[in-house]
Amino acid sequence: MAKLIPAAERIQRARKLIQQARDLPVPTDGLGKSDFSYIASVKDLLRQARDLVKFIPQTAGVSAEMKEEVKKIYEEIEQATREILY
């Protein structure tokens, strides 16, 4: 059975994944930012971050502050997508 990860740790892991997406090196040869494998890697990391936190707001007993953190994570993901890919 899978180990349950506390919500606070999920948020930390999501932020690390967002940072990993930002730290991915842009390919210097070929298409650069338009390289399909680069785009797929960035989107995969951001999807993993989103998947980590998407059920936190529906969980019973989660504080309002934690729900606000999840909203901030979603905003960070959208901002990172715009900064990295466009």
> So where are the chain's domains?
7-85
Q: Residue 60 has which token pair? A: 């019973």
Q: How far apart are CA 82 and CA 20, in angstroms?
A: 15
pLDDT in 10s for each residue of the chain, 86 residues: 678 889 999 999 999 999 999 999 998 887 888 899 999 999 999 999 999 999 999 988 889 999 999 999 999 999 999 999 98
pTM of the predicted model, to two decimals? Answer: 0.91
Cα–Cα distances in Å, from 13 out to 16, 17, 48, 75, 82?
Answer: 5, 6, 9, 16, 21
Residues in the chain: 86
Cα dihedral 19, 22, 23, 24, rounded to 10, equals: 130
